[in-house]
Structure 1
């Protein structure tokens, strides 16, 4: 099947590669010519495991191509996916500028029957608006259907999720559209859910909101564990073995970040408040997550009442491992607080380059973890990169000035680290 994907961001690029891998002929469209030029050359402009190799493979098979010409792209393809961004406005509501532009573009150049698939995360009722925007912009009388098909990709394993999803949710009023999408995804071995567009939109938001809730819940439990000298990981393991709860997202730490959870929680809260049906639990989820970095800094300052002129090494800049995404990364909240306390901050990340705005504020990046930690008064772990579990902490113990580790992701074996002479503090540890 000939498929067009509008929006060559994280989701669009991943889905384009995945669909090409299942035999479809896929075109990727974006108004950002730099992105198109990079992808056409086979150069992935963001980090995602295994995606680079598969991108190169399907450029060679000719099942994947990229363009910045909307007219020909829309005319030539029968199924069109919309995967553009929906960033948050200041009030928490989603900005639908790019969604509307994509819909109007489809309407303008549509010349035959199309199935339009909204895969961007959009507020409740947006899929119906997309249909209206296409109708208002079109001069072509041929019919079209609009389907809501939310994505459930996790950064760091997005390609795996695209090729082996837990479920496919389809929201439409058209049996023909349902059948076409199920044909596109016919290689997938997972449940298919047929529902209405607005229910599909809600499924995406509710899923992310629930996962965010699990994270904030275990972080609150971790705070109480600190008061009783309890290892929160023991508690999480005991909880997670109950199949009604499950162990995923019960890792206590610095809280959630990234491009999805913060934005989606804000949007769902805005929607609920706007309808006069406030989500009280979710408001507390957001508050707990917002407060978690400050709670962690307070743990640091119990050991160091003054951080002025301390050489503090922060390990990890991305919001989670296996990605270079720093959007809403807790690491930068920690850095900001350290700078306010007049600390000297050195950072390390295996992939992320420190943005210039932080370099200009005096933060220094060192690419070798051993060189970075040399002379450190204390070390803070902000991202649970496997590298930080695998490095030689005995060697680091010989390099540092002060033997203090504050593990914001609970990734190190506390007893082993303490035997090396470190004072170790995690979240939810005695």
Structure 2
């Protein structure tokens, strides 16, 4: 109800006028254009937002390799009014109903015209790699993951929804099971559909239940409930206090003081 703009694709002025009238009362500028251009606006906007996230993840990896602090770096970059801080945040990767679908659709549209969109391809590839990096962090801490108990904290692609479409948690669960790990999951809203990998994942009703006896935990979704967990108590019930914070949600100093072997997205 509070959009930045309303884009209307129209075949003729009469149709455009009628559709514009449907949006009377919404305080947003209305722009009309031909249908193909309007479709391109939708795809291009989501692809550009996805690019910002993938760029943040690339810079985060570079910060990790050089010893720079990605939170400080991207915080200062985002202060530039030409760039803004919106979506300029590293994490475990984007998912959901729009970014993956629209990025792939734009790439397919380009391929159908004989054009290879190199930047868009790189944006998608970076996002796919980001999930593999989370698995590698666990291997760095635990070695072989076969037989290990891993807790995935959060399943929905973002907090505040039960939406599992293209959720990073599905990719992580599948890769962990392929490595021979035992996977538990917690989410306050999401209920994955039947089928693999979720048929092989044990569902927990609380974060503490997921963490009990776990060799490692991965924060997949930045649910505010996770910031309220008694992590001292949680530490006492884990088998091995290893945590990879895929959303940079928690305070690393506090978690390490408690005794967690805490790693996160590219902060030294």
| TM-score interval for Structure 1 and Structure 2 normalised by the shorter chain | over 0.9
For residues 202-254 of structure 1, the C-alpha deviation after alignment (integer angstroms, 9 at most, x for no partner) is: 10011011011111111111111111222212111111111111111111011
Aligned with 1:193: secondary structure?
strand
Are 1:347 and 1:372, in contact at CA under 8 Å, matched by a contact in 2?
yes
State the alpha-carbon separation in 1 of the partners of residues 8 and 199 from structure 2: 47
Aligned to 2:215: 377
Alpha-carbon spacing, 1:236–1:360, altered in 2? closer, same or farther (3 Å): closer
Poorly superposed stretches of 4+, deviation over 6 Å: none
State the Cα distance separating 1:260 from its structure 2 match: 1.3
Q: Does structure 1 retain, via aligned residues, the 8 Å contact 2:141–2:242?
A: no
Aligned CA RMSD, in angstroms, stands at 1.5
Q: Secondary structure at the match of 1:345?
A: strand
CA contact (8 A) 1:354 1:365 kept: no
> Where does structure 1 lack aligned partners over 5 or more consecutive residues?
1-162
- Higher relative CO (Cα under 8 Å, sequence separation at least 6) belongs to 2
Query: How far apart, in 2, do the equivalents of 1:407 and 1:236 lie?
Result: 18
- The alignment covers a number of residue pairs equal to 268
Q: Deviations over 1:8-28 (max 9, x none)?
A: xxxxxxxxxxxxxxxxxxxxx
Distance 1:377 1:207 in 2: 40
The structure whose Rg is larger is 1
- TM-score, normalised with respect to structure 1: 0.60
Quick check: 1:193 aligned with 2:31? yes
- Aligned-partner Cα distance in 1 for 2:93–2:52: 10
1:243 aligns with 2:81: yes
- 2:160 match: secondary structure: coil
- SS in structure 2 at match of 1:356: coil
Name the CA distance, whole Å, in 1 between partners of 2:198 and 2:11: 53
- Aligned counterpart, 2:105: 267
Query: Is 1:255 aligned to 2:93, yes or no?
Result: yes
CA offsets 1:18-39 (integer angstroms, 9 cap, x no match): xxxxxxxxxxxxxxxxxxxxxx
* TM-score normalised by the chain length of structure 2: 0.95
Please name the residue that 2:51 is paired with.
Answer: 213
Q: Which residue of 2 aligns with 1:75?
A: none
C-alpha displacement of 1:360: 7.2
CA positional deviation for 1:365: 0.6
The alignment status of 1:347 with 2:202, answered yes or no, reads: no
Q: Which residue of 2 aligns with 1:230?
A: 68
